[in-house]
Amino acid sequence: MIAAMTQEKKEQKQPETVAAHCSGAVMDSAVAIYRKCFNALDKGENWTEDSAAAYFRDLMQRDGALFWTLRIDGDIIGISGGCDLAASIVWPDMPPDISQAFDPQNVFYFAVTAIDPRCQGAGYGRDFSAAWMRDVKAKNYRGIVGRCRADNLPMRRIFEKSGFQIIREYQSEMGGVTCDRILLYKEL
C-alpha cells in the first residue's frame, strides 16, 4: 500500500496529521520510520530498535513534549515531535549569544520529522511540517528551533521554505556519530 502512496499523492490523496501519544503501535511505527530515515551505516550511524525507542521515550518525557503522526488510510507514514526548548537536548549547549535571544519557555524545540522513504518526494514532508507548526503556534509558542544534519538536504529545504533561518553551524554527537549539524530558528 505505501508503495502506491506517492502515485496516490498525485491523485490528491490527502494525508491526515494526528496528534498522538508515542507508545504502543505508534512507537513501533516511529522507531521503524526513524531507523529507515536516519541509519547511515556508511557514516557509522546505526540506530537499533532499542536505541531509537529510547530516543523517543526520552523525548516524550521532556517538558512540553508533543508528537504527531502523518497517516494515510490509518497507515503511519510520518512522525514528528519535540518539546520546550528549555527541556531540549540542545539547550544546555546553546552558546550565550544565541540562548540570550530566546525565552526558552516560549520556544518549541523541533526534534524530529521523518517521512517513510517510500513516500518521500511527494510533498508530504512540507505539508506535514506546516500542519504541526500550526499546532505549535496554536499552543502559544513564539518561535521554533530545530536542527538537522548539515547534509540532510531535503530537511534543509523544508526548513528554508518554511521560513527558518540558520543560526548556528556546529558539530555534535548523536547515534554514536559526530557530524556537522545546523541549528535553525523561525519566529511564529
User: Domain segments of the chain: what residues?
Assistant: 2-187
Least confident range from 66-75, 168-177, 178-187: namely 168-177
pLDDT tens digit sequence for 123-158? 898 899 999 999 999 999 999 999 988 988 988 998
What was the pLDDT predicted at 2?
59
DSSP 25-67: HHHHHHHHHHHHHH-BGGGTB---HHHHHHHHHHHHTSTT-EE
Q: Please, what's the largest Cα pairwise distance for the chain?
A: 48
Q: What confidence category does residue 80 fall into, taking pLDDT thresholds of 50, 70 and 90?
A: very high
Reading the block at residue 103, the C-alpha cell is: 525565552
Q: What is the DSSP letter of 4?
A: G
Whether CATH 3.40.630.30 fits 2-187: yes
Q: Is the pTM for the entire model greater than 0.75?
A: yes
